[in-house]
Amino acid sequence: MDMTLNAFTLSILTGLQLGSIYVLIALGLTLIFGTLGVVNFAHGALYLIAIYLAVSINNAFGFTYALIIVPPLLFVIGVLLERGLIQRFYDRPHTDQILVTFGLAIVIQELLKWVFGANNIPFAIPGWGNGILFLHEYLPFLEGFVVYPKWRMILVAVSIVTVAAVFALLHLTRFGLVIRAGMRDAEMLQFLGVNINRRFMVVFGLGAMIAGIAGVFGGPVTQVSPEVGMGLLVPSFLVVVIGGMGSLGGAVLAGVLIGMAQSFTAPYINANTIIIYLITVVVLLVRPRGLLGSKGVFE
């Protein structure tokens, strides 16, 4: 297939949009790993909870209610999860953490399937986000008729705003300063009299809340069925690994990279299937700590 300028533009947009979902999920994943040192395999299941809540509220009361209710609710669920289960595993080996979070993910997935069924639940896009954008009207270099769904552009925008907000929180606030210090040396921070555990609880809640935002805006794109969480977990986890464990900037970079790679290999099934694994192998061979990873972390 010849790569015309139109095709190139569409592939770039698709790559950005695919990357957006990965980034939103990977952001929570890497935030939790970076601060708590927990590899949270239940993160895909948090996204799953978010899309089921979002679709239920959206279909019953409308999108605005879903947007107002779901992310804070996910924050609460995240905090409860951290207090009730995850904190008991901070001092346990990584394998125990992986087993318990993975097990939790399966339990959540099967529970949701039990309640909602295995079939897809249609997630209607709100009127203001429905329809297509006529790209050729905005980008004069495109020839003829080039369109893209409006909602997917909104998803990219939401992703950018969320990333910016998280960066601002970590770099411009006192809370962020403590968290970043905790990421470096939690023990020293505790010696200085900071209740780091309470802040870590908030971070876990924050990670879950980002999954909530991803669910509200990503639900109509990824669709709502019980397989979605696990399907997104593997690429998102690889995004964290490629970007560098615990690195927010790395997660963003790797998310976009993976999205682009998947978009541009779409016509070729074999390449499309293996591309993210291939990138992971190459990156880890060349740079074991990941693209923007800190020295010594999972190297």
Report the alpha-carbon distance of residue 257 to residue 66 in Å, rounded: 30
From 98, 256, 278, 174, select the one nearest 106 (Cα to Cα): 98
Per CB under 8 A, the list member of 62, 76, 107, 110 interacting with other proteins is: 110
Q: In the bound complex, what is the minimum distance in angstroms from residue 41's beta carbon to other proteins?
A: 17
Cα 186 from Cα 79, distance rounded (Å):
19
Which of residues 72, 103, 131, 288 is near other proteins by CB under 8 A?
Answer: 131
Task: Give the residue from 74, 90, 64, 48 showing the smallest Cα distance to 223.
Answer: 48
* Residues contacting 58, CB < 8 A, separation 6+: 65, 66, 123, 124, 126, 219
Beta bridge partners of 224: 121
Position among 62, 72, 103, 122 found at the interface with other proteins (CB under 8 A) = 122
Q: How far is the CB of 12 from other proteins (least distance, A)?
A: 10
In whole angstroms, how close is the CB of 2 to other proteins at the nearest point? 9
Least Å distance, CB 110 to other proteins, is 7
Q: Is 176 in the site for other proteins (CB under 8 A)?
A: no
**Rounded distance, CA 277 to CA 280, Å?**
5
Instruction: Give 154-194 as a 3 state SS string.
Output: HHHHHHHHHHHHHHHHHHHCHHHHHHHHHHHCHHHHHHCCC
Q: Which of residues 237-266 bind other proteins (CB under 8 A)?
A: 262-263, 266
Region near other proteins per CB under 8 A, out of 38-46, 120-128, 194-202, 206-214 = 120-128
Report the DSSP beta bridge partners of residue 134: 147
Q: Which is nearer to other proteins, 269 or 285 (CB)?
A: 269
Note whether 147 binds other proteins by CB under 8 A.
yes
Of 76, 115, 119, 190, which one interacts with other proteins (CB under 8 A)?
119
Cβ within 8 Å of residue 178, ≥6 positions away: 189, 194, 196, 199
Stretch of 38-46, 110-118, 159-167, 179-187 contacting other proteins, by CB under 8 A: 110-118
Which pair of tokens denotes residue 110? Answer: 């099967």
Chain centroid to Cα 244, Å, comes to 15
| 273 forms part of the interface with other proteins (CB under 8 A) | yes
Residue 9 vs 197, nearer CB to other proteins: 9
Contact call for residue 192 and other proteins (CB under 8 A): no
Positions in the binding site for other proteins (CB under 8 A): 1, 4, 6-7, 10-11, 13-15, 17-18, 21, 110, 113, 117-122, 124-125, 131-132, 146-149, 151-152, 220-223, 225, 227-228, 231-232, 262-263, 266-267, 269, 272-273
